[in-house]
Structure 1
């Protein structure tokens, strides 16, 4: 899979969780990318995504900034 295709897949997973009411709770950066923990505030569900592409890391970072401002 090309890096762009991988980015699109990761972005779609992030968007799906955000659209379903999840919020970014924690980010753990490591050599393989970043593990991003999402939590649903009402249902108390937690999901973790491994984000490997630089563009997807920039994307969730911008969402995290927006989330912290609202």
Structure 2
């Protein structure tokens, strides 16, 4: 899979969780990218994604900044 295709896949997974009402709860950076923990405030349900591409990490960072600003 190309890097761009991998980015699109990771972005779609992030967007899916955000659309379901999840919020970014925590981020752990590591050599393989980042592990992003999402929480659904309605039911205290946690989901975790491993994000490997640089563009997807920039994407969730922009969402996190937007989330914390509002």
Q: Same fold (TM over 0.5)?
A: yes
Structure 2 distance, partners of 1:56, 1:43, is: 26
- The alignment of Structure 1 onto Structure 2 pairs a total of residues equal to 70
Describe the SS at the equivalent of 1:42: coil
Q: Which runs of 5+ in 2 are unaligned?
A: none
Structure 1 distance, partners of 2:10, 2:43, is: 23
- RMSD across aligned positions (CA): 0.3
Does residue 59 of structure 1 match 2:22? no
When normalised by structure 2's length, the TM-score is: 0.99
- Displaced runs of 4 or more, over 4 A: none
